[in-house]
A and B are shown apart, each in its own frame.
Chain A
Amino acid sequence: MAPTGIALLALMVATFAWSGYRFSRLLRPLTKGAAENRFDQPLRRAWGVVTNVGGHTRLLQIRYSGILHLMIFSGFVVLLTAVVQEFGKGLVPGFSLALIGGNNWIALLQDIFDVLVLVGLAMAAYNRYVRRPARFQGSNERDATIILALIFLVVASMLLHNSFRVAEGHDPSAAWRPVSSALAGLVGLVGVHGAKAAPYSHVFYWTHVLAILAFLAYIPTSKHLHVFVGIPNIYFRDLAPRGTLPAADLSQPSVGLKQIYQMGWKQMLDLYACTECGRCQAVCPAFAAGQPLSPKLLIMDLRDHLLEQEGIGSHRKGVGGVQLLGDAIKDDTLWACTTCRACMQVCPLHIEHVPKIVDMRRQLVEQGRMEPRLQDTLASLAQYGNSFNQSERMRSKWTKELGFTIKDARKEPVDVLWFVGDFASYDPRVQRLTQTVARVMNRAGVDFGILYEGERNSGNDVRRVGEEGLFEMLAQHNIETLAKCDFRRIMTTDPHSLNAIGQEYPRLGGNYPVLHYTQLLLELLEKGALKPTRGQEMVATYHDPCYLGRYNNGFEAPRRIMELLGVRVHEMPRCRENSFCCGAGGGRIWMDDRGVKERPSENRIREAVSLGDAGYFVVACPKDVVMYTAAVQSTGMEGRIQVMDVIELVEAALEPEVAAVAVA
């Protein structure tokens, strides 16, 4: 072997050893992490890798960034052939990929992708240093710059090496390297050709090789670790139903995440996968409201804390006994989350932010670290089964003014068992809508009943607050009550109840067909049980509640209803999967909004008003009625937009009831 070959080999061995050692340090905590089963459904998992990595599905949601990433990524794949070729010939003189096309089509691809990567890099630099999207705020710019520079060095040196080789005059692939040939022509003009080109070729060869080795050595503690971790992280993504949180073992003396090593191995892998791209931050309602939560910074802080505990890289071990909760991650950060899932929906790496937040909240609840209002609400839920500090008997008070009696589903069989929910039952601002739902169902001849004082809060948000034991208590009460009832299916007013009953109760033994009231209304309209004779000619926009839309895929029913009623729906830019949370979810409605600069609900109302022609803001969740009615007032938009529940639209479209006509 030539001396240069020996030098290269030594460098490679040293780099692999160093890099391998650093990787093994990174992987070590994963072996200590809690068990998580992510090995099922291999085909579905693999297909997700194909669409997410191959198809760039999530990355392309931000077109500019998606395209530049695709250019650099595909370049990486193609240029791997070049890496093999360059290192191969460095070690084994005469090594070549010629047999499989190294001198023709592979050479052509390399040349083309060299240019594509360079264009991609230029776009990335323009994006990062000129356009400066807000989502990068808080990311490590130095790291990003080093990575961009290294990639540039790798690719530019390779292109120049190839160009000078062509200039030397005996490159068998010259005819297939249009870009290199053109550059060779250029340097030829200043007299660098033949033997004169050889030193340059050497210099760029070694630049290329060293840049690649530097890249490899640098990567383990860089955000570019996703080059290695990204694919496994997507493969091992969470395939459980979206609305089902990981269980907590309540038989243990302590519940929730107290220190980082209690995390599951996949939860740790998530931390390494983060590229600090900030797409999560850009869609986070808490961040937009100026609260101390950015899903991106949360993941970065967890990662830094883990590295600190492990003493990896520049992170020194055990700095001053830093605690996970309170030090690395602040209580207020965890309490700011609405669990709306927008972050998880956009993360190109499928990082699971919400389960981590809830798991840490569980520990805060155990230690009693929560604000007084939330504590009072939990106490109310434990005592009375509702968040309103009212007696169970008051739950059905709204039925008294109806003029007809709703069946008691505990006493007689019904077709539809209506799980009304706390806000729809107790909140005076929502009760009139609950009564409207009852009247419309009554007119449509639906055989329905309610649980009266037998109903308890579904526990959806209790679970998300982190009070796992209380959630189980409430859920078990409801499941026991439902077990004694004879019904065909459950309808909920509240999307949060829909989620709990549909997605959380099965784990506790409660399996029921459950639908949202918009879904039942659509059914009634489609089969003609409700006849909308008075067209609602108006322009409205529709807000997708997180727990109806993103969590339970209930996008179509409300829109179909509006279409059937003649309402023209002008969609907001953030709709369907990308809907913007009202700010009430995950128990936020039980906390005060101290420190909030602009409430998410106000931000949303401004978005709706900016459409220009939408006079109505249609909602399908009792909490939304409360949140947005308040937001319309606080933004002073009363004359410009009006909050309306889907049920109001439906009732307005029906013929006035005979009794009402007689009175008139």
Chain B
Amino acid sequence: MHIAVILKQVPDLVEEVEVDASGAGIDRDSVKWKLNEFDDHALEQAVLIKESTGGEVTALALDGDGVDQLLYAALARGADRALKVPTSDERTDAPRIAAALAPVLREMAPDLVLTGVQAADDLHGQLGPILATSLDWPHVSVVSGVEVSGAAVQVQQEYSGGRMATLEVQLPAVLGVQAATRPPRYVPISRLRQIMASAQIGEAAAAGEAAALGSTVTRLAPPAQGAGAQMWEGKPEEIAQQLLDVLRERGLLGA
């Protein structure tokens, strides 16, 4: 089984994210990047499948700053090959990523494509569905746990209210992973360094495909500050009384 995992960097929120001069994007120079948490789970799920049923894992990412580091880490985690896909567009929303990756995946013809169910800049989780549509493959989102059975995979899909469904998906397919069967593993730095010294990152030929119509950001701004919290002071009994009053006032307690 050949599994392709799509990885993407997102801004690391330990640093304050700032709006750039255009007013429609974030200031990319002041931002630290890290692997999208859900992609991390997708990668882990791919490696777990490989470990339990054999096969190979190819990690893919759009080219850009820090992508080598990202792909080396994927190799250290257990991916067999790493491939960066050139892009001329700085904007990396889901339709554009899908447009850049679809021809590469069509040629690669993996059995399974895994990606994170969503990302900080793709909260709607569009990458999986758009990519599956371009490839004309089945797609399932919000997947936690994937098991191979013959020419299909069984996946767990989570619904609200704590319900889970087990679905069988014919291969090839695209899955949006929410959580791997096990939390992503730790990669010792020594292994990462060995990989960086020895492994190669491949580069896909630029294929370019017109992006499906996406949305365009016209303005980006930090959320407006609310009125703020009201701080209560005094003895515990007084505070408790105040709390009770507020709850009653808002009809949150019975008469």
Contacts and interface: CB of A to CB of B under 8 A. Distances in A.
A648 interface: no
22 contacts: A250-B194, A255-B188, A365-B186, A366-B191, A368-B185, A368-B186, A368-B187, A370-B186, A372-B183, A379-B186, A382-B189, A391-B14, A391-B15, A467-B189, A468-B188, A468-B190, A469-B188, A469-B193, A470-B188, A470-B189, A472-B190, A473-B189
Contacts, number: 47
Contact of A384 (B14, B186, B191): B14
Contact of A469 (B12, B15, B32, B189): B189
A250 B190 contact: yes
A140 interface: no
A253 B189 contact: no
Interface of B: 12, 14-15, 32, 34, 183, 185-194
Contacts of A384: 14
Contact of A393 (B15, B186, B192): B15
A274 interface: no
Interface residues of A, number: 25
Interface in A235-275: 250-251, 253, 255
A391 B11 CA distance: 13
Given A250-B194, A467-B188, 14 more contacts: A250-B193, A366-B190, A368-B186, A368-B187, A370-B186, A375-B183, A379-B186, A383-B12, A467-B189, A468-B190, A469-B189, A469-B190, A469-B193, A473-B193
A384 B33 CA distance: 12
B222 to A, nearest CB: 17
Interface in A383-433: 383-384, 389-391, 393
A335 to B, nearest CB: 14
Contacts of A366: 188, 190-191
Contacts of A389: 14
Nearest to B77: A368
Interface in A434-476: 467-470, 472-473
A118 interface: no
Interface in A348-380: 365-366, 368, 370, 372, 375, 378-379
Contacts of B15: 391, 393
A473 B15 CA distance: 22
Interface of A: 250-251, 253, 255, 365-366, 368, 370, 372, 375, 378-379, 382-384, 389-391, 393, 467-470, 472-473
A468 B192 CA distance: 12
Contacts of B34: 383
Given A391-B14, A391-B15, A393-B15, A472 B194 contact: no
A320 to B, nearest CB: 24
Given A389-B14, A390-B14, A393-B15, A255 B190 contact: yes
Contacts of A382: 189
A378 B186 contact: yes
B188 A365 contact: yes
Contacts of B188: 255, 365-366, 467-470
B185 A469 contact: no
Contacts of B193: 250, 469, 473
Contacts of A370: 186
B73 to A, nearest CB: 10
A376 to B, nearest CB: 9
Which of B12, B186, B189, B190 has the most CB atoms of chain A within a 10 A radius of its CB?
B190
Contacts of B190: 250, 255, 366, 468-469, 472
Contacts of A250: 190, 193-194
A33 B121 CA distance: 54
Nearest to A378: B186
Contacts of B194: 250-251, 253
Contacts of B187: 368
Q: Which 3 residue pairs spanning A and B have beta carbons closest together?
A: A469-B190, A469-B189, A368-B185
A633 B187 CA distance: 38
Nearest to A375: B186
Nearest to A372: B183
Nearest to A388: B14
Contacts of A469: 188-193
A255 B194 CA distance: 12
A461 B189 CA distance: 15
A366 B194 CA distance: 13
Nearest to A362: B188
Which of B14, B34, B189, B191 has the most CB atoms of chain A within a 10 A radius of its CB?
B189
A378 to B, nearest CB: 6
A473 to B, nearest CB: 5
Contacts of A391: 14-15, 32
Nearest to B15: A391
A35 B34 CA distance: 42
Contacts of A372: 183
Contacts of A390: 14
Contacts of B191: 366, 469
A406 B14 CA distance: 25
A381 to B, nearest CB: 9
B47 to A, nearest CB: 11
Contacts of B186: 365, 368, 370, 375, 378-379
A538 B183 CA distance: 52
A201 B183 CA distance: 75
A116 B67 CA distance: 76
Nearest to A471: B189
Nearest to A394: B14
Contacts of A253: 194
A251 B193 CA distance: 10
B215 to A, nearest CB: 30
Contacts of A368: 185-187
Nearest to A382: B189
Which of B14, B32, B188, B194 has the most CB atoms of chain A within a 10 A radius of its CB?
B188
B241 to A, nearest CB: 27
A365 B14 CA distance: 26
A389 B188 CA distance: 18
Nearest to A365: B188
Nearest to A248: B190
Contacts of A472: 189-190
A154 to B, nearest CB: 54
A382 B190 CA distance: 12
A370 B193 CA distance: 21
B12 to A, nearest CB: 8
Which of A253, A378, A469, A473 has the most CB atoms of chain B within a 10 A radius of its CB?
A469
A383 B34 CA distance: 9
A639 B32 CA distance: 47
B108 to A, nearest CB: 28
A370 B15 CA distance: 28
Contacts of B32: 391
A380 to B, nearest CB: 9
A370 B12 CA distance: 25
A656 B192 CA distance: 53
Contacts of B189: 382, 467, 469-470, 472-473
Contacts of A379: 186
B31 to A, nearest CB: 11
A577 B193 CA distance: 39
B36 to A, nearest CB: 14
A317 B221 CA distance: 70
